[in-house]
Amino acid sequence: MNRPGILVTGGTGYIGSHTTVELIKAGYHVVIIDNLSNSNVAVLDGIEAITGVRPDFVEADCTDIKALRALFEQYTDIKGIINFAASKAVGESVQKPLLYYRNNLNTLMNLLECMSEYKVDGIVFSSSCTVYGEPDDNPVTENSPIKPATSPYGNTKQISEEIIEDVIHSGAPFKSVILRYFNPVGAHPSALIGELPNGVPQNLIPYLTQTAIGIRKELAVFGDDYNTPDGSCIRDFINVVDLAKAHVTAVERLIEDKCATPVEIFNLGTGNGVSVLELINTFEEATGVKVPYRIAPRREGDIEKVWANPTHANEVLGWVADTPLADTMRSAWKWQLALREKGIM
Ligand code: UFG
């Protein structure tokens, strides 16, 4: 199969690496650009071990348009872009807003500029359910109201979506699929790639698995007095490989000109809301490993409950996130064990 090139920005990161694996399996030539600010080049070994193919890799920053142009001059077969390159820590974005606006927005604008110059058909953009804020109703559809952003990080996702809409409506010669992720968790079942957080994890699953293996003393559950059945927050936890597969379908729609509109938006979630306490319980049952935890005060800025209505993605993309949560928890645990085995953590 001789399929075109796909540029995966942030391709050595968590979701980028899993998506690269699925793209290679689907027969695409993948070029990764990553500045390695929050990932390790050894991820390429994991991708190669799974697929038998090593993706092309350019170590550069997407805010550097000269580097991007050089990349497009070198790889002339690129027809689609999947943009994962972004800073993503909510708390850090409050401390360093300019870093977030600069990284996330300049990256996107540089890519859009190059797309016209180098005749790229389309861009898949990583957005987030953060755009729905605290929803009035669950599950949320793509038409649920967009709420004011509560962090610079969230604002970069909203502004990025607007930039894409504006540029495409101005007549730019390409299309876009915007994917709004819910909470991606787990790792590739091979445990050859997974999530590698820098320092103390801010997200639930890496903190949970690091606690289960003894790196952290206990997991703090942020609040048990929310208006939910067990009092803890509710999220839509989606398996990262399921999520990665949606990108292959999305980029295919762009390069094969199958999009119904120049900008398409999809929620990527399972449709099931699961509470933090239920998730801990699922992990313990799936792995047989206990997670020491305590109830802690609420974390500022947390949404009480949000989960997806994924019908639009199910019907239009023919995609469904159907990996059982217990399997996903086992994959996260296997990955944590592999990190210990490799002496990484
Ligand atoms: N949580 C804990 N203890 C922890 C970490 C998290 O109880 O140590 C809880 C949080 O309070 C929350 C849930 O677990 O209720 C999930 O928290 P995460 O930090 O894993 O994920 P969030 O839902 O807060 O964040 C995600 C993405 C962001 C996105 C945000 C939108 O990571 O990119 O959703 O709300 F912006």
| pLDDT tens column, 126-163 | 999 999 999 999 999 999 999 999 999 999 999 999 99
Is 153 catalytic? The answer is: yes
Q: What is the pLDDT of residue 1?
A: 55
- 243 pocket-lining for ligand 1 (C-beta < 6 Å): no
| Confidence class for position 79, pLDDT limits 50, 70, 90 | very high
What does 274-291 look like in DSSP terms, one character per residue? EEHHHHHHHHHHHH----
Q: How far is CA 36 from CA 67, 98, 198, 247, in A?
A: 15, 19, 12, 22
Q: Is the peptide bond before 139 cis (omega within 30 degrees of 0)?
A: yes
Q: Are strands 274-275 and 234-235 parallel, antiparallel or unpaired?
A: antiparallel
- 320 pocket-lining for ligand 1 (C-beta < 6 Å): no
Count of H helices and E strands in the chain? 12, 13
* Whether 157 contacts 106, CB under 8 Å: no
How far is the C-alpha of 38 from the C-alpha of 11, rounded, in Å?
Answer: 11
Ligand 1 atom with the smallest distance to the CA of 205 is 20
> Best of 15, 128, 153, 183 to mutate for ligand 1, by most ligand atoms within 8 A of CB?
183
Mean pLDDT in the chain? 97
- 130 pocket-lining for ligand 1 (C-beta < 6 Å): yes
Q: Which of 153, 181, 207, 226 is catalytic?
A: 153
Q: What's the token pair of residue 103?
A: 């990284």
Provide the 8-state DSSP code for 140.
Answer: B
**41 pLDDT higher than 60:** yes
| pLDDT tens column, 224-282 | 999 999 999 999 999 999 999 999 999 999 999 999 999 999 999 999 999 999 999 99
Instruction: Give, using CA atoms, the residue closest to atom 35 of ligand 1.
Output: 130
Q: In the 3-class helix/strand/coil scheme, how is 321-339 assigned residue by residue?
A: CCCCHHHHHHHHHHHHHHH
Ligand 1 centre distance from Cα of residue 256 (Å): 36
Residue type, 66: K
- 221 pocket-lining for ligand 1 (C-beta < 6 Å): yes
